[in-house]
Amino acid sequence: MASIKALAQRFPEDFLFGVATAAYQIEGAATEDGRKPSIWDAFSKMPGRVYQQHSGDVACDHYHLWESDLDLIKSLGVDAYRFSIAWPRILPDGRGQVNEKGLDFYERLIDGMVERGLKVYPTLYHWDLPLALAGDGGWTARSTAEAFAEYTEIVVRRLGDRMDALATINEPWCICHLSHLYGIHAPGEKSPEAFAAAVHTLNLAHGLGTQAARAVRSDLPMGIVLNAYSIYPASPSPKDEAAAEGAFLFNNDIFFSPIFQGSYHPEILDAFGDKMNIQDGDLETINQPLDWWGLNYYTPMRIREDTAADADYPRTAIVPPEQSKTLTDIGWEVYEDGLSDLLSELYGRYELPPCFITENGACYNDEPVEGVIADQRRIDYLEKHFQAMANSRDTGIPVKGYFLWSLMDNFEWAEGYKMRFGVVHVDYDTQVRTLKDSALWYKGLLETRKSA
């Protein structure tokens, strides 16, 4: 392993380092100050959907502990904080009446960040769709894209003057593939038709939201956060090579092409176009020029051809990681070259603006021993991925910053509270926060960089 000084020196002075969270995963206060339910509030109450029916009702109680949490962030020495705004706090019914108390909370939070010298990097949508909109079809309905634009305009009008950059949507792949095709995330659908409709609605919402934000503040740097996959064929056979390309189109290009090129790939249109309700002008709306984009990367995807006669498009199967590989506690393969390989591939295929790594981190469920959380495996993961990120920069790829996922342990969606991604340990019974060794390592890296 390289020395912390050598690693720190690989990043220039203007490189942005931060931490990241999301509203439903940390805030709690699910029924306070006018907030109404999101689809995740409903989904988590359904038996068998979330581990032990855990929910975000309390989570990390950040809604009440935000001031001490901001002090904690500041103590780490980071430059910026990436968080999400809860749509159900701002527009409890998704549209219509604005809840001023919700806006007041985010105003206090953002003002607190500004006072502490932290740069403000909000995301408008991190999966907590107001439940009322599910009655209209949720993300399968075009009206939800229009509602998102209205929500964007309200937030930017009130808070946009203190934002350093704004992301429209976090991880459309999870919202479409995991939530509407595989049934793992809310609303838990397993429908190719719903999936196809959601893909286009999400892409359209991004375009409409970007337009709405710029209509209010033309100088606000706009972007979107995509969890693209580094995809590798399971073997060098032509069939697996072709399968890997099909998987790339299905998992990555389905968002990158419309957003950055204003078109869907012919294969995507052949498979799903008749279910997407694409209307005249939609692709021009989706294809807004962006100031930046965010990449969330955790693990690679290894692909083989699916030879089953009834295999769905793109006729691929994911090969699970071999036990000989280094795995995190959630079972994901650690492969840092996937990050640099993916950046190289994406910048080779598309004309992309500068990039931030908006999420990267590892699930290790280490608990305190005499007050110390010795999560050396997370430190090893982070160091490897920092090196890969620096390698990408050395090749000329414009990576401008990094947000570590996550600031603290939190509600890990379908996994509930059993999986821990934080560099800060949370005791969910007492809400006591304890810095893990990885937080101290990150703090030390940033201190070394500033003193160099």
State phi, psi for 294 to the nearest 5 degrees: -115, 140
Cis, bond preceding 314 (omega within 30 deg of 0): yes
Residues 77-105 have pLDDT tens digits of: 999 999 999 999 999 999 999 999 999 99
For the chain, percent of residues with pLDDT exceeding 90: 98
The position carrying tokens 């960089």 is: 449
Q: Are 87 and 128 in contact (CB under 8 A)?
A: yes
Q: Where are the alpha helices (DSSP H) in 116-191?
A: 131-134, 142-159, 172-173
For the chain, percent of residues with pLDDT exceeding 70: 99
Catalytic residue among 27, 153, 189, 359: 359
Residues 202-257 have pLDDT tens digits of: 999 999 999 999 999 999 999 999 999 999 999 999 999 999 999 999 999 999 99
Residues 104-121 have pLDDT tens digits of: 999 999 999 999 999 999
Closest by CA position to 169, among listed 225, 130, 222: 225
pLDDT surpassing 80 at residue 2: no
The mean predicted confidence, pLDDT, of the chain is 97
Closest by CA position to 331, among listed 358, 365, 305: 365
Which 8-state DSSP code applies to residue 178? I
Whether the CA torsion 31, 37, 40, 41 is positive or negative: it is positive
Closest by CA position to 32, among listed 57, 69, 53: 57
Residue 77 falls in which region: left (phi positive, over 0), alpha (psi -120 to 50) or beta: left
Domains and CATH numbers, the chain: 10-329 (3.20.20.80)
What value does the mean pLDDT take over residues 31-59?
Answer: 98
User: Could you give the CA distance from residue 74 to residue 113 in angstroms, rounded to a whole number?
Assistant: 9
User: Could you give the CA distance from residue 138 to residue 231 in angstroms, rounded to a whole number?
Assistant: 30
pLDDT band at 324 (very low <50, low <70, confident <90, very high): confident
pLDDT surpassing 70 at residue 446: yes
> In the prediction, which pLDDT does 130 show?
99
The position carrying tokens 């581990």 is: 51
Residue 171 annotated in active site: yes
Residue 351 annotated in active site: no
> In the prediction, which pLDDT does 202 show?
98
User: Could you give the CA distance from residue 195 to residue 202 in angstroms, rounded to a whole number?
Assistant: 10
pLDDT surpassing 70 at residue 452: no
3-state DSSP helix/strand/coil % of the chain, to nearest 5: 45, 15, 40
Which residue type does 16 have? L
Q: What is the pTM of this model?
A: 0.98
Angle ∠(269,273,276) on CA atoms, nearest 5: 140
User: Could you give the CA distance from residue 161 to residue 26 in angstroms, rounded to a whole number?
Assistant: 25
pLDDT band at 1 (very low <50, low <70, confident <90, very high): low
pLDDT surpassing 60 at residue 140: yes
Residues 352-377 have pLDDT tens digits of: 999 999 999 999 999 999 999 999 99
Catalytic residue among 27, 153, 171, 412: 171
> In the prediction, which pLDDT does 439 show?
98
Residues 262-295 have pLDDT tens digits of: 999 999 999 999 999 999 999 999 999 999 999 9
Assigned token pair, 362: 């590892």
User: Could you give the CA distance from residue 443 to residue 118 in angstroms, rounded to a whole number?
Assistant: 15
User: Could you give the CA distance from residue 278 to residue 418 in angstroms, rounded to a whole number?
Assistant: 40
User: Could you give the CA distance from residue 40 to residue 128 in angstroms, rounded to a whole number?
Assistant: 6
Q: Are 245 and 315 in contact (CB under 8 A)?
A: no
User: Could you give the CA distance from residue 195 to residue 189 in angstroms, rounded to a whole number?
Assistant: 8
Which 8-state DSSP code applies to residue 311? P
End-to-end distance of the chain based on CA atoms, in angstroms?
19
Burial of residue 402 (CB within 10 Å: 0-12, 13-18, 19+) is buried
User: Could you give the CA distance from residue 220 to residue 223 in angstroms, rounded to a whole number?
Assistant: 10
> In the prediction, which pLDDT does 323 show?
78
